[in-house]
Structure 1
Amino acid sequence: MQKKSAPQQVRIIAGIWKRTPLTVLDAPGLRPTPDRVRETVFNWLNFLFQSNWSAIRCLDLYAGSGALGFEAASRGAAQVTLVEAHTPAVLLLEKSRDKLQAQQIQIIRGDAQIVAQKLAAKGDVFDVIFLDPPFHRDLLVSILPICLTLLHPDGVLYLEAEKALTSEDLPECLSNWQVIRCDRAGKVFFHLLQRSR
């Protein structure tokens, strides 16, 4: 009989829930953002927001483990909306939210593109949108134009991809955007983008 391996976990890095573990579901396409990457990204965001998260609204469209969204909430984000299509992952997100009594976190089960369109139709606006879709499915091309309608004019787009993006080779819909920060961890390239001033 094969021994069942223990579930994977990631930990919240900073804030009120520092070191709290989040269970990672073993599911195809689910790649939780590694601790080192999250630490770097949130250092970048802290600099941009001058460490003041109290008015920041975040949207994580491919939430998976919820690591990005829970990290933002732990640091004091006013509102965090997690969107995830995979029901077992949604149940884990809800369990984590309830355990932490994280009232600022809203969880929506559904396809990221459909949910994003509904949020845009309602006129919702976010200061940060986290985009970490499954790789090799060309999902960014269809989701990015919707994200731009959801993002505050001074908002920040976080993007993970299987290749590096430069300001010169961004998709057409991001022609007036710039990559303000980028780095690489293994096969994952991660970026912060903002509208050009």
Structure 2
Amino acid sequence: MQIHAGQYKGRRIKTVKNLPYRPTTSIVRKSLFDILHNISGKTVLDLYAGSGVIGFEAASRGAKEVTFVESSLRVNSLLKINSTGFDNVNLVFVKQDVLRFLDHPGSYDIIFADPPYNYELLDELIPKVISSLRSSGVFILESSPREFSIPPTRVKDYGDSQLTFWENN
């Protein structure tokens, strides 16, 4: 995997087979950042960070701070390896269960979450994340195609993946 745009365009993000995550595809990432457009100076929260490619892409495109939340120790180690050389942004790594982190999260301009597709706690996750958004912030959830109890502002389908957007207006 590599970064598509910004200061670190073309930089490879390392992944390791047999780790417990599913990286966001290149097509979905490109579409996501085309929709978000200018993220310069924004604070970004990458939940279920996995390889961190979403957060690192945000850093490359000018985010001022990116927080990665991942519960796996092995995956957190990989995130830190991938972060080497990202000198233009404050990168924060949190090894914690996402729902526990969201009990005291801070506030963010952009929050991205990519939980496992069989994740059963989405109805608990979504309101917690939305309450962590700053005014005019946006929450993007990558999931298998589905409907949600809290109406989204936008939905984009990509085969077996779906990006669902909620805004805090």
Does the TM-score normalized on the shorter chain lie above 0.5?
yes
Question: Which residue does the alignment assign to 2:5?
Answer: 14
CA distance in 2, matches of 1:135, 1:160: 9
Pair 1:191 & 2:144 matched? no
8 Å CA contact 2:152, 2:164 repeated in 1: no
Question: Which residue does the alignment assign to 1:5?
Answer: none
Measured after TM superposition, the shift of residue 55 of structure 1 is: 2.7
Structure 1 counterpart of 2:4, one-letter code: I
Structure 2 counterpart of 1:63, one-letter code: A
Question: Percent same amino acid among aligned pairs?
Answer: 31
Could you list the structure 1 runs, at least 4 aligned residues long, displaced by more than 4 angstroms after superposition.
Answer: none
Structure 1 length-normalised TM:
0.79
- Structure with bigger gyration radius: 1
CA distance in 2, matches of 1:21, 1:149: 33
Question: Which residue does the alignment assign to 1:75?
Answer: 61
Structure 2 counterpart of 1:179, one-letter code: T
CA distance in 2, matches of 1:100, 1:78: 11
8 Å CA contact 2:64, 2:89 repeated in 1: no
Q: How many residues were matched structurally?
A: 169
Structure 2 length-normalised TM:
0.91
Structure 1 residues 145 and 181: CA distance shift in structure 2, 3 A:
closer
Measured after TM superposition, the shift of residue 27 of structure 1 is: 3.5
1:121-167 Cα offsets, whole Å, 9 max, x none, are xxx211111010011121312211211221113111111111244xx
Pair 1:86 & 2:78 matched? no
CA distance in 2, matches of 1:154, 1:27: 38
Structure 1 residues 102 and 22: CA distance shift in structure 2, 3 A:
farther
Give the one of 131, 135, 149 matched to 2:131. Answer: 149
RMSD of aligned Cα (Å):
1.7
Q: Which has the higher helix share?
A: 1
